[in-house]
């Protein structure tokens, strides 16, 4: 006997609905243990978030299902059941996809001219901006590309509404740069291969549960989220995540001299997120039909708490990945000893060792940003305090635009800036502009060092929604890259530099699909993406780095 597919919806709000398969083994008798009624109520609780389902009506007839006969007669393919918390049948409302808080005139900006933009991603950007409740500004960065439903490389600022799907499952994903003390002579050319060989023992869990929990302690307490997810702490993950040893090939110190990257320096770029935890949060709080929360709702508050925890966890994860890499790269440094597996043998957590490693790591850290998160910000952006000087000296013509002056501060409100693959232009903690941030290419292609711009002409960050591109952006879907690039490079090893290319990258990737899915050809030209940011007046390119060793995944058994 096949299962029967029906739709259940809230009687009070019929736009909120969910599909339900009723197996043939469920019985019509509402009093039975395996009743259809029980199944419907359970689904209404989990998918429609109706705490106490009480009555069921058939739509559009409005008949209430009470007796076994009622259930038997009415459970048929594609019927819609309206679930009530006790209230009477409210009748059929006209199907209306537009939310009353949707903003059909929401401005949508795409900061690209040189970088190719697929039309599907523009449709996704515009549709999202115009249909989700509360969106007041949407920006497509030059790395914009289509996602399953929502675009990647996009920023959405909303009033009152929080939309977890716009951040996605990898909450807290981002990038951090750390300095190493290696001279470039140790990573250039064929030396890169030797360095790649040293990168071992990085797959799988790091040390013990007790060590992981100790690593997750921070100033605000603990960001441990339970062993189920904590066990992945210190691992890079799959997809576009990586850790990369790079050489700074050009670098222009910024005028305040705080530039943290020096020419010929060897640095480590870590791109990873919250592993399984972020996805579990998205799943826990959203259903197919319930994806947006008003800021004061209980769900929004609980979601934000877990979101913030995932961001902390992801940051601790990047730090631990860096520690594990540094233990391989600088074996003489005792501060990194903690990064390797526990060879002391005692198994006891050495708190002093953790403190020392964290301290030294923070000294090495140049920048760490989240590019998948939601942040509450004052809007419209005002000249940040460090920018006062430039405000004072800005020309009177610029004042005539929609730019903001400190006098207008009281007109600001708080909005939620949702970033899905978009880097912030400032440090959310200090509220100061970032000196630099990475715009990674892919493997052999350069990573640009960006410096965000703040000026009256881009309305102090309104134009780019206080954000920049987070990478080159996909030019091909994973499926397309896999099929076309595995053909193109058939019989070739694209994980080593070509013999003529001394400046190339040694790639560690023991997953054969990933080799092609993440090949440079699958991405846009990072120089075009960077130039679009410059042309839009939102960033300058202050330097370039090149990867020497790019670590994706290693099969240790090999």
Partner DNA sequence: ATGTAC
Please identify, using beta-carbon distances, which residue of 241 and 358 lies nearer to DNA: 241
Residue 454 annotated as binding? no
Select which of 137, 145, 163, 470 is catalytic.
Answer: 470
Among residues 37, 179, 212, 275, which is the contact residue for DNA, using CB under 7 A? Answer: 275
The one segment of 7-15, 180-188, 271-279, 330-338 that binds DNA by CB under 7 A: 271-279
Please identify, using beta-carbon distances, which residue of 32 and 479 lies nearer to DNA: 479
CA distance 181 to 253: 19
CA 103 to chain centre: 25
Residue 68 annotated as binding? no
Please identify, using beta-carbon distances, which residue of 240 and 425 lies nearer to DNA: 240
Q: Determine the straight-line distance between the first and last CA of the chain, rounded to whole angstroms.
A: 48
Output the smallest distance, CB 169 to DNA, in A. Answer: 4
Q: Which of residues 143-172 bind DNA (CB under 7 A)?
A: 148, 169-170
Q: Is 550 in the site for DNA (CB under 7 A)?
A: no
Query: Which helix (H) or strand (E) covers residue 154, if one does?
Result: strand 152-158
CA distance 363 to 381: 31
Sequence-separated (6 or more) residues with CB below 8 Å from residue 243: 236, 268, 269, 270, 271, 272, 321, 322, 325, 551
Residue 472 annotated as binding? yes
- What string marks each residue from 173 to 212 as x (binds DNA by CB under 7 A) or -? x---------------------------------------
Among residues 38, 62, 116, 239, which is the contact residue for DNA, using CB under 7 A? Answer: 239
The strand order across the sheet containing 17-22 reads: 17-22, 4-10, 80-84, 55-59
Q: Is 292 in the site for DNA (CB under 7 A)?
A: no
The one segment of 98-106, 238-246, 436-444, 499-507 that binds DNA by CB under 7 A: 238-246
Is 470 a catalytic site residue? yes
- Residues composing the chain: 558
Q: Is 283 in the site for DNA (CB under 7 A)?
A: yes
**8 cis-preceded (ω within 30 degrees of 0):** no
CB contact at 8 A, 259 and 251: yes
Residue 145 annotated as binding? no
Q: Is 324 in the site for DNA (CB under 7 A)?
A: no
Distances (CA, A) of 12 to 51, 56, 57, 65, 465: 13, 12, 12, 17, 36
Q: Is 238 in the site for DNA (CB under 7 A)?
A: yes
Distances (CA, A) of 169 to 72, 282, 292, 411, 527: 40, 6, 15, 34, 29
Binding residue numbers for Mn(2+) = 170, 241, 271, 371
| Residues that bind DNA in the complex, under the rule CB under 7 A | 148, 169-170, 173, 227-229, 231-232, 237-241, 272-273, 275-276, 279, 283
Residues serving a catalytic function are 470
């Amino acid at each position: 006997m096949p299962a029967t597919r029906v739709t259940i919806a809230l009687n009070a709000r019929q736009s909120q609905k969910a599909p339900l398969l009723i197996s043939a083994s469920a019985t019509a008798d509402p009093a039975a243990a395996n009743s259809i009624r029980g199944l419907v109520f359970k689904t209404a609780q989990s998918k429609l978030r109706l705490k106490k389902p009480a009555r069921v009506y058939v739509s559009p007839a409005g008949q209430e299902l009470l007796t076994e006969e009622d259930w038997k007669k009415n459970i048929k393919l594609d019927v819609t059941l309206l679930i009530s918390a006790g209230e009477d049948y409210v009748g059929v409302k006209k199907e209306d996809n537009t939310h009353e808080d949707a903003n059909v005139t929401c401005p949508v900006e795409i900061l690209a001219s040189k970088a190719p933009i697929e039309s599907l991603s523009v449709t996704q950007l515009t549709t999202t901006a115009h249909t989700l409740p509360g969106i007041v500004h949407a920006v497509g960065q030059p790395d914009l590309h289509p996602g399953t439903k929502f675009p990647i490389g996009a920023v959405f600022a909303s009033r009152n509404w929080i939309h977890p799907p716009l951040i996605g499952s990898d909450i807290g994903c981002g990038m951090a740069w750390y300095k190493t003390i290696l001279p470039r002579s140790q990573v250039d050319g064929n030396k890169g291969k030797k360095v790649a060989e040293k990168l071992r023992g990085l797959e799988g869990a790091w040390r013990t549960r007790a060590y992981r929990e100790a690593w997750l302690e921070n100033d605000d307490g603990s960001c441990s989220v339970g062993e189920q997810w904590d066990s992945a702490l210190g691992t890079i993950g799959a997809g576009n995540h990586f850790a990369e040893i790079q050489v700074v090939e050009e670098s222009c110190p910024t005028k305040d001299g705080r530039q943290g990257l020096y020419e010929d320096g060897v640095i480590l770029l870590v791109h990873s997120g919250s592993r399984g935890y972020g996805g579990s949060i998205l799943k826990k709080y959203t259903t197919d039909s319930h994806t947006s929360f008003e800021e004061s709702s209980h769900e929004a508050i609980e979601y934000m708490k877990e979101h913030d925890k995932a961001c902390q966890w992801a940051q601790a994860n990047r730090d631990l990945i860096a520690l594990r890499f540094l233990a391989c790269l600088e074996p003489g440094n005792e501060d990194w000893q903690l990064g390797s597996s526990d060879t002391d043998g005692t198994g006891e957590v050495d708190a002093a060792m953790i403190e020392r490693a964290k301290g030294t790591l923070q000294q090495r850290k140049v920048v760490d940003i989240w590019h998948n998160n939601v942040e509450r910000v004052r809007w419209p952006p005002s000249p940040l305090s460090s920018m006062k000087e430039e405000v004072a000296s800005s020309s009177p013509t610029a004042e005539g635009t929609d730019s903001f002056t400190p006098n207008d501060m009281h007109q600001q409100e708080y909005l939620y800036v949702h970033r899905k693959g978009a880097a912030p232009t400032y440090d959310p903690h200090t509220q100061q502009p970032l000196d630099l941030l990475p715009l990674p290419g892919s493997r052999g292609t350069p990573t640009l060092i960006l410096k965000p711009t703040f000026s009256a002409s881009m309305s102090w960050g309104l134009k780019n929604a206080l954000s920049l591109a987070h990478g080159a952006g996909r030019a091909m879907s994973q499926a397309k890259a896999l099929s076309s690039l595995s053909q193109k490079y058939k019989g070739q090893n694209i994980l080593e530099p070509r013999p003529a290319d001394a400046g190339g990258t040694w790639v560690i990737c023991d997953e054969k699909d990933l080799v092609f899915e993440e090949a440079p050809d699958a991405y846009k030209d990072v120089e075009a993406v960077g130039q679009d940011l410059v042309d839009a007046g939102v960033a300058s390119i202050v330097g370039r780095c090149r990867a020497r060793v790019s670590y994706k995944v290693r099969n240790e058994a090999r």
